[in-house]
Chains A and B, each alone.
Chain A
């Protein structure tokens, strides 16, 4: 069983919803990332999503675009991101790590080389925003050989057939994008999310995580009531950005929002 599947199984046994923070690797500078990952786990994260910076993050809003730009000022490459995961694994063998990013850095490294290196570094899942199942066959094949879970995004307008095809080629969990838009926008509608999740669950047994637009403890708790996982990106990255001038304070202070979300989710 993969580390991701095992984590979801144990959470389910405890009746808890997973909390998955997203940070962009190397934001605002590379030395912050690994300490911040450990601090997020201590604050209550069950899985981590680590963003691979890209020059043209088309599906992201201004907050994560700016995070990519800060990281790229330090030329943070996919190789370095994998080094960060390797370093994280020395102290934390249990928390699943999902890489999230765009296809081109993976194309340039080469699918096989990437899968081998990611597997060796201790990555558990790979979410490629601009790779729908139609184009994903080859990458999915090499990821599976390395026991890496390919994680797909489902959207409000994905029909049942598309959700089934994601469930077939995907693993780990399915990431449901809560609204039509980019990351960080304020368009979350809990009722429509709940309705759609019901439909999605009819098409797949994978755990379903919900992301986009979850900005505080209250929205996290409300989504936690209907989802298997809550993904928090821009709200956390905003706090990282606010501390960009005092990067040494980031691991201690930025995860506060995760602590609050964890508490609200567990109290609900």
Chain B
């Protein structure tokens, strides 16, 4: 039950959260079966140790540079900015990372930690398959056994990513329970973890789940915002006016936002999957249209019915098709530090086509939601205003979806 409606006077600065029990205001925490409480505490301790270990951090940096390909560029989309007739739009090019999205920043970090902890078996959940591919990739690199849980419905929709994971040596397990999508894959991964907790490391792909996952995944993703902050200072000589990122679970958004939380003049916009529109009920926008509840180990905003049952979400983008959201976003929303909006499937597709034709960059449908909001916001601002949009992934994986929507057979 959420008893605090707003930030209390003694609340620590937003950038210093969570507290020691994993709370972001009333959100976050550790709502899991007892068997996982010990292992989560062990994980928290191991994670805090490596954060203070220069050897680990050097290893991580080296992998981010030579395996992932960081730093990713910050690209000034001049032609698109001119066309929109307002603010200058800069794109943080996470689409250029190895495996084609921001997901790998986190899987490299967690796999290194798993190796430190002596775990030989990796499990993960995946929706569209991006996190599954990023996990299978690092498991191959470190020679670890890898099992990826994926909803049977998603397996049907994302056949290419399923094959990629199998090529990488992962076992992909079809989840037939519930709605057969991402939330059910997460349930099944949790069931595996509770059963094999002694030798298995669970790599969660987003900033949700029980403490310490929301903080740990965020920390591994903040490389996005740290780089972007330094790059914009170098390229434009000042901080941006606003940041824009899509929000499913919210890992690319928090990765971009977090290093700017203390820069009060920088506005932050998280863009949820508006599906067929918030009024239609067919969407994936818990922050815009949901209410607080408890799912998957944390308290956060959820898509749920009046009885507290989790309801199915709808988005053209499989990566945004999740009924919850990271607890830090829930708190950033309530505290007013970040604002959350939604872009519909149609708006996202329009932005997808526009960026592809005008800038020669094909964005993921997830990232296209952030671009869709940039497209709305930019014309309302002066020409010297600066927006940074997180281009969290590339669109190759989505061409079948786009083609099908246009009635084209590829």
Interface residues of A in 68-109 (CB under 8 A from B): 69, 72, 75, 77-79, 102-109
Q: Are A58 and B310 in contact (CB under 8 A)?
A: no
Interchain CB contact (< 8 A) of A78 among B1, B304, B308? B308
Q: Give the B interface residue count (CB, 8 A).
A: 40
Q: How far is the CA of A233 from the CA of B190 in the complex (A)?
A: 20
Q: How far is the CA of A172 from the CA of B187 in the complex (A)?
A: 29
Q: Are B309 and A72 in contact (CB under 8 A)?
A: yes
Q: Are A181 and B309 in contact (CB under 8 A)?
A: no
Most interface-central of B31, B197, B310 (chain A CB within 10 A) = B31
Q: How far is the CA of A185 from the CA of B191 in the complex (A)?
A: 11
**B174-212 near A? 1/0 per residue, CB < 8 Å:** 000110000110010011001101100000000000000
What size tier do the contact residues of chain A reach?
35 or more
Q: Are B190 and A105 in contact (CB under 8 A)?
A: no
- B357 at interface by CB-CB < 8 Å: no
A58 and B29 in contact, given A103-B294, A109-B308 (Cβ under 8 angstroms): no
Q: Are A180 and B307 in contact (CB under 8 A)?
A: no
The residues of B that contact A155 with a CB separation of less than 8 Å are: 33-35, 37-38
A108 and B304 in contact, given A132-B34, A152-B34, A180-B197 (Cβ under 8 angstroms): yes
- A134 at interface by CB-CB < 8 Å: yes
The residues of B that contact A180 with a CB separation of less than 8 Å are: 35, 194-195, 197-198
- B306 at interface by CB-CB < 8 Å: yes
Q: Are A162 and B37 in contact (CB under 8 A)?
A: yes
A135 and B31 in contact, given A58-B191, A104-B295 (Cβ under 8 angstroms): yes
A159 and B38 in contact, given A62-B177, A78-B308 (Cβ under 8 angstroms): yes
Q: Are A158 and B190 in contact (CB under 8 A)?
A: no
Q: How far is the CA of A200 from the CA of B148 in the complex (A)?
A: 36
Q: How far is the CA of A130 from the CA of B309 in the complex (A)?
A: 15
Instruction: Output the nearest chain B residue to A163 by Cβ-Cβ distance.
Output: B34
- A182 at interface by CB-CB < 8 Å: yes
Q: Are B33 and A54 in contact (CB under 8 A)?
A: no
The residues of A that contact B308 with a CB separation of less than 8 Å are: 54, 78, 104-109
Q: Are B294 and A107 in contact (CB under 8 A)?
A: yes
Having A56-B178, A59-B190, A177-B35, one finds 7 other A-B pairs with CB under 8 Å, namely A56-B295, A104-B304, A107-B308, A132-B31, A155-B35, A158-B34, A159-B38
Instruction: Report which A residues bind B (CB closer than 8 A).
Output: 54-59, 61-62, 65-66, 69, 72, 75, 77-79, 102-111, 129-132, 134-135, 138-139, 152-159, 162, 177, 180-182, 185
